[in-house]
Amino acid sequence: MDVALSPEDWSVIGLSLKVSLVAVAAMLPVAFALAWALARWRFPGKLLLDALVHLPLVVPPVVTGWLLLLLFGINGPVGAWLDRSFGITLLFRWTGAALAAAIMAMPLMVRAIRLSIETIDIRLEQAAETLGASRARTFFTISLPLALPGILAGMMLGFARSLGEFGATITFVSDVPGETRTLPIAIYAALQVPGAEDSVTRFAILSILLSLGALLLSEMLARRVGRKRVAHGL
């Protein structure tokens, strides 16, 4: 088997990393806001919001992809508006693949971040307030650093999930080589071609290595944060 990677292989890897990184970065503030609201606030419809956040975990990914197509397609309400107002098209673009990956990663990210927010000792936030800290300063110097391990874990989980995303992506943005052909889609495409077993094997090994790397990195980060803490308050 030929183990050397072709330029085309490298483009698949690069695209996969780009799509996953952008998906996690874009979803992070949204996931944090959702996690904070679910952990800290009481409001009508909270159960429903919780269920909606978890929906991508349980609905068939092809359904999520189809919903994205309805919303963000050329004639979809959001897609048409994005195109008209900003000239942004997501359909058949890598940005669309990142959107699909972000939606699929959302439940895992929100869960991990929410858990870490729930473990923050509120009494420490109260102590900061009696010491004269504003709500914002308390948030940035106490709450956020204490939630950091969970935030990092959520990002790594989301990244690993994004790397493996297939169903919603291929439904929403299809298979466009160089644009939306991420690792799982490249594997699927290679499986359709007789005699491309070597490609399948190479991509499969790469997928496993990348995912393993992300999980190991997340574990190392979590331990590092657990041991070495922020040395100075802001």
Partner 1 sequence: MSAESGSRMAFEISLRRDLGGRAIALECRAEARLIALIGPSGVGKTSILNMVAGLLRPDHGRIVVDGRLLFDSAAGVDLPPAQRHAGYLFQDRRLFPHMRVEANLRYGRRPGGTLEMDGVIALLGIGHLLHRWPDTLSGGEAQRVALGRVLLSAPHFLLMDEPLSGLDRSRRDEILPLIETLRDQIRLPILYVTHDHREAERLADLIVEMPEA
Q: Of 9, 129, 175, 179, which one interacts with partner 1 (CB under 8 A)?
A: 129
The nearest distance, CB 158 to partner 1, in angstroms, is 24
- The residues near 16 (Cβ < 8 Å, ≥ 6 apart) are 163, 182, 183, 210
- 224: contact with partner 1 by CB under 8 A: no
DSSP string, 41-83: ---TTHHHHHHHHHHHHHS-HHHHHHHHHHHHSTTSHHHHHHH
The nearest distance, CB 135 to partner 1, in angstroms, is 8
Cα distances (angstroms) measured from residue 182 to each of 42, 127, 146, 163, 200? 40, 48, 35, 8, 13
- 37: contact with partner 1 by CB under 8 A: no
- 230: contact with partner 1 by CB under 8 A: yes
Q: Of 142, 153, 168, 170, which one interacts with partner 1 (CB under 8 A)?
A: 142
- The residues near 43 (Cβ < 8 Å, ≥ 6 apart) are 37
CB under 8 A: which stretch of 1-9, 81-89, 99-107, 224-232 binds partner 1? 224-232
CB under 8 A: which stretch of 23-31, 76-84, 188-196, 226-234 binds partner 1? 226-234
CB under 8 A: which stretch of 5-13, 81-89, 139-147, 210-218 binds partner 1? 139-147
Q: Of 43, 47, 123, 192, which one interacts with partner 1 (CB under 8 A)?
A: 123
Angstrom distance (rounded) from CA 156 to CA 76: 31
The nearest distance, CB 28 to partner 1, in angstroms, is 20
DSSP structure class, residue 1: -
CB under 8 A: which stretch of 42-50, 141-149, 180-188, 196-204 binds partner 1? 141-149
- 48: contact with partner 1 by CB under 8 A: no
- 179: contact with partner 1 by CB under 8 A: no
- CB of 27 within 8 A of CB of 106? yes
- CB of 94 within 8 A of CB of 181? no
- CB of 139 within 8 A of CB of 186? no
- 140: contact with partner 1 by CB under 8 A: no
The residue ranges that bind partner 1 (CB under 8 A) are 123-124, 126-134, 141-142, 145-146, 229-233
